[in-house]
Chains A and B, each alone.
Chain A
Amino acid sequence: MGFLYWLESTSLANWVGASLWGYPIMLTIHSVGLAIVVGLVFIMSIRFLGVMQGVSIGSVSRLFPFAWFGFAINTVSGLALFTLQASWYVTSVPFLLKITGIVIGVVMMVLMQKEFKKSGDGLDSASEAPQNLKTFAIISLVAWSVGMIGGRFIAYI
């Protein structure tokens, strides 16, 4: 807990909390990053599950770097928001749910990307995703949904 109180006393926390615009700016950046990472992961996941057969699985997988870019934005903005009330967030159930969802979601991103690396060009031209990829895609959809619902409800519970 000492670390969390220290976080709350940093100059970053002060800026986010005390300046008029620190908090809204971070929150807004966090929303844009959310749309990028979750939006693109949703598109990839539903494609792996068989929706939108018109685009190939391989070409959709090219969205991974962009999704990681959104994730990077949200790691930074999320940490900035976290410093503001670190000791409170770690006791908030929706926050803990959100973090759990994100961790599982990120693991799924890594696992899905590994499938592509493993199979090389084979998966690029496949019209249907292998079972592994489908399983990861379902878990990924659920995990990011939980992450988003948890995140939204931090403000209410």
Chain B
Amino acid sequence: MEAFMTFLSNSWVASLMYGWAWTWPICETIHFFGMTILFGAIATTDLRLMGFFKQMPIQATHVLINIAIVGFVLNLITGIMFFCGDSFRYVPNISFQIKMVLILLAGANALYFTFKLQPTWGEWDPHGNPPQIARIVGASSLALWTGVIIFGRLIPYLGTG
């Protein structure tokens, strides 16, 4: 791990992050944009799954996935850039660790929805409440992504590093 982190610190990405004083703030701003895009798309889907605004057919939320992916990719790229630039601080940071675990859980939750629930959602009432398991998946997703934002923002304030 140590060797890998040293490798990252010496990589061209790390020099890009520190070569110009504005790279880091610009990437942070893009990271915020990615966050709002991802959260907006995910939260809309989650709220509908939880039973809000039934005017929206549940199956129509499918079009939000592409928007969510745009936000996620933006943040994956900028996130990796931050990590390359400062891995020695991130790795031992408890808030960063919690954030990563929450992202993995949110990902698993999304995969469960995609592969277990979505194949059967043709039978759901478009303007009704989805089955309870889908409501739980929606609420979990909303809670997990909110947690990702919370612990992401707390990285500079929590724990060591």
Binding site for B on A (CB under 8 A): 24, 27-28, 31-32, 34-36, 38-43, 46, 51-56, 58-60, 62-63, 66, 124, 145, 148-149, 152-153, 155-156
SS of A interface (majority): helix
Q: How far is the CA of A66 from the CA of B53 in the complex (A)?
A: 11
Please tell me if the beta carbons of A54 and B62 are within 8 angstroms of each other in the complex.
yes
Q: Does B12 contact A (CB under 8 A)?
A: no
User: Which residue from A31, A36, A62 sits with its C-beta under 8 Å from B43?
Assistant: A36
Please tell me if the beta carbons of A46 and B67 are within 8 angstroms of each other in the complex.
yes
CB within 8 Å of A: which of B26-44?
A: 28-29, 32-33, 35-41, 43-44
Q: Does B69 contact A (CB under 8 A)?
A: no
Please tell me if the beta carbons of B36 and A52 are within 8 angstroms of each other in the complex.
no
Known interface pairs A34-B32, A148-B32. Does A40 touch B153 (Cβ–Cβ under 8 Å)? no
- Per-residue CB proximity of B7-36 to A under 8 Å, as 1/0? 000000000000000000100110011011
Closest 4 CB pairs of A and B: A39-B40, A59-B56, A62-B53, A54-B63
User: Shortest beta-carbon distance, A60 to chain B, in Å?
Assistant: 7
Please tell me if the beta carbons of A28 and B56 are within 8 angstroms of each other in the complex.
no
Q: Does B105 contact A (CB under 8 A)?
A: no
Q: Which residues of A contact B101 (CB under 8 A)?
A: none
Please tell me if the beta carbons of B44 and A40 are within 8 angstroms of each other in the complex.
yes
Q: Which residues of A contact B29 (CB under 8 A)?
A: 148-149, 152-153
Q: Which residues of A contact B63 (CB under 8 A)?
A: 52-55
Q: How far is the CA of A124 from the CA of B53 in the complex (A)?
A: 13
Q: Does B110 contact A (CB under 8 A)?
A: no
CB within 8 Å of A: which of B52-96?
A: 52-53, 55-57, 60-64, 67
Please tell me if the beta carbons of B25 and A34 are within 8 angstroms of each other in the complex.
no
Q: Which of A24, A27, A31, A124 has the most CB of B within 10 A?
A: A31
Please tell me if the beta carbons of B150 and A28 are within 8 angstroms of each other in the complex.
yes
CB within 8 Å of A: which of B113-140?
A: none
Q: Does B98 contact A (CB under 8 A)?
A: no
Q: How far is the CA of A27 from the CA of B32 in the complex (A)?
A: 13
A to B CB contacts below 8 Å, 26 in the list: A24-B154, A24-B158, A31-B150, A32-B150, A34-B36, A35-B43, A35-B146, A35-B149, A36-B39, A38-B40, A39-B40, A39-B43, A40-B44, A42-B40, A46-B67, A51-B67, A55-B57, A56-B56, A59-B55, A59-B56, A63-B53, A66-B47, A66-B52, A148-B29, A152-B25, A152-B29
